[in-house]
Amino acid sequence: MNIRQQRPFAYLVAFVVAGVILGNLFGSWVYFTVTIFSLSILVMSVRSLPPKEFKIDIERGSAEEGKDVYVDDELEITINIKNEGGKIRFLEIHDIIPGLLEVVEGSNHQVLELDEGEERELNYKISCPINGNFELGPVSLRYRDALNLFSNEMEIEEEMELRVLPRTEDMQKIDLDPSYTKHWLGEVKSKSIGVGSEFFAIREYQPGDELRDINWKATAKYFDPLTNEYEGERSGDVILIVDGYEEGIVGTMENNTMRASIDVAASLAEVLLSARHRVGLIISGEYMNWVYPGTGRNHYHKIMSNLTKFERGGTWGLEGIKWLLEEFFPRKSMIILVSPLTVPSYSSTLIDLCMKEYDVVLISPDPLKIEKEVMEDEEYEETAERLYSAERERLLEKLWDHGTTVVDWDPTEPLEPTLEEVLRYRHRRR
Amino acid sequence: MERWFISFLVLLAAITMSLFSPATVYRSFPLIFGLVSVIGYILKKLFVFDTGIFFTIISYLFANSGISPSVYNLLVIMMFFFLLIGIWFYARSTLFISGIEGISSDEYDIGLSMFRRSSLNEILTTILMGVLLSILASFIVLYSSLGITMSSLTETLLMIVLSVSVFFITFLVIKLFSLEKIKTGRDS
């Protein structure tokens, strides 16, 4: 730690020097007076010099530490400050937080006076408008004298990691089931006998049948042990694909098609996992990240963790994802691609996937709606808007014709109503 | 409120310095640079404010460079210098406080209020001690180096008492205004 001189000190020294130079230059006693006066202040200011060392103990904590924090949640941060040295006056404390976090209550920047051994608490609340991994800290301390002639600074490496998860939309009413099911237990009714809850038929009792499956009423009627058969309930594999291709992203840092895509993927992962499907995830961004299909609460956290730490960028387009799907992921899975579809080559890749018996659903956040929201009152070129809308409509119709279920979604509105309507149409088509 | 009061003080000091200067072309310079510092303070441009104060003082000395070396003139220059320097330090302190962002909470209010009072006391104590030291040093320099004969003892003592009284009155006025409840966040 070094004691530093601040700008007012420099000005006082400038007065001293200017007084001497100008006094000699103009031969006037008046200038020498400012030299004397400035030197007097400098001499007297030595009495409030900052201490060379100050011993401060800092501890940061939060009531929500260890818990999941979601976008726009408020998090209370508490900093305990203990002075283990002599009395400190005018101690400036600044808890450095990333620029994307907002302080909604209190302040992370304060000035305190601490007696020897005194302990104080600094509280403030933060909120994050976007998901991601963040690091709070370090804590910067600065001693300033009242005249701000000198200062002494130190940084205390007290960091705290914060993981902000994307906010999920409640979509429990959505009936989004894969066309092809696998042999493990789920909630999709298969057209074959198996483990389930819907009654299918009665048959003769066979050794090994569960006692609870015996139909006692029928058995009493026909004097022959009879067993219930149920309609099999299966689950399938669903692969969520989030398009984070840099050139295809539209919008600002806080409000863009990628953020909308991540929120949708998080909501769908929750819905699909609760329906006991096996859910996998592929994200193309700075790196290609994937999570192999799985089930359960831990798997959900794994997916959310990957969505949270996702960074846009890279050069992996849909072709790269297609290769990954074909090589490493189960066949006949349902593919849910969340993409604004701003890259022209995506349509041919999607059609190709449909041809290879993948059940493809495209949820496309309309980039035009986000752009209009971002631009607010600025003038919008109507002709360009109509041209783009027509082009987009043509593309989506082409994909429908080739077997892709397309959800053209306005990201400024909830997804559930639009998705529900499209799925109803999809079921009717089948 | 406080911001406008300090701006008014700076402007008043600059006007008074101009009025107390001899009637030459350079008489208005302290006022011009005083205006610059007021603009810098209102816009919270610290560099502009600091530079304005610096040149206000230098220009005042320049405008008064031809005056005769007497005790009265020395005390007037000292009074204006220390008055402006005291206001400068206090104004910087208020700018620093207004630069600390935050939303109201009781603890925050108390912390800032304590800081404000402590810094004002510290500034005034340092300035006062600086004045005393300056008076002593100036008299020694004047008498020994420049060979000026001092005026009568009564007149000298009266000058000292008058200049120190002006300073104390200013101190009391600032202290009275600083006792109002501190508003948190930025200055209103």
Tens-level pLDDT at each residue, chain A (430 residues): 567 778 888 888 888 888 888 888 887 888 888 888 888 888 787 777 777 677 888 888 887 777 778 888 888 999 998 988 877 877 888 898 888 888 888 888 888 888 888 888 888 889 888 888 888 888 988 887 878 888 888 888 888 888 888 888 887 777 777 777 766 666 666 666 777 777 778 888 888 888 888 888 888 988 888 888 877 767 788 999 998 877 777 888 778 888 889 999 999 999 898 888 899 999 887 778 889 999 888 999 899 988 888 777 666 678 888 888 888 888 778 899 998 888 878 888 888 888 887 888 999 998 888 888 877 666 667 788 888 888 899 988 988 888 888 999 888 888 888 888 888 888 776 5
Spell out which residues of chain A touch residue B67, defining contact as CB-CB under 8 Å: 30
Residue B89 touches chain A, beta carbons under 8 Å: yes
Q: CA–CA distance from B53 to each of A43, A45, B7, B58 (Å)?
A: 21, 19, 12, 9
Token digits for A394? Answer: 């043509």
Spell out which residues of chain B touch residue A8, defining contact as CB-CB under 8 Å: 50, 88-89, 92
Residue A305 touches chain B, beta carbons under 8 Å: no
Spell out which residues of chain B touch residue A146, defining contact as CB-CB under 8 Å: 89, 93, 118-123, 126
Spell out which residues of chain B touch residue A124, defining contact as CB-CB under 8 Å: 102
A417/A409 Cα distance (integer angstroms): 10
ipTM > 0.95?
Answer: no
B55/B61 Cα distance (integer angstroms): 10
Asked if A33 and B58 count as a contact pair (C-beta separation under 8 A), the reply is: no
Question: Which B residues 58-87 touch A at CB under 8 Å?
Answer: 58, 61-62, 64-67, 69, 74, 77-78, 81-82, 85
Spell out which residues of chain A touch residue B77, defining contact as CB-CB under 8 Å: 30, 33
Closest partner residue to A26 (CB to CB) among B65, B92, B133 is B65
Distance from CA of B138 to the nearest CA of A (A): 7
Asked if A385 and A368 count as a contact pair (C-beta separation under 8 A), the reply is: yes
Spell out which residues of chain B touch residue A106, defining contact as CB-CB under 8 Å: 102-103, 105, 108
Closest partner residue to A146 (CB to CB) among B62, B108, B119 is B119
Distance from CA of A52 to the nearest CA of B (A): 20
pLDDT at B180: 44
pLDDT at A237: 87
**A313: which strand partners?**
A245
Mutation target among A21, A78, A111 for the B interface, most CBs of B within 10 A = A111
Token digits for A330? Answer: 């189960």
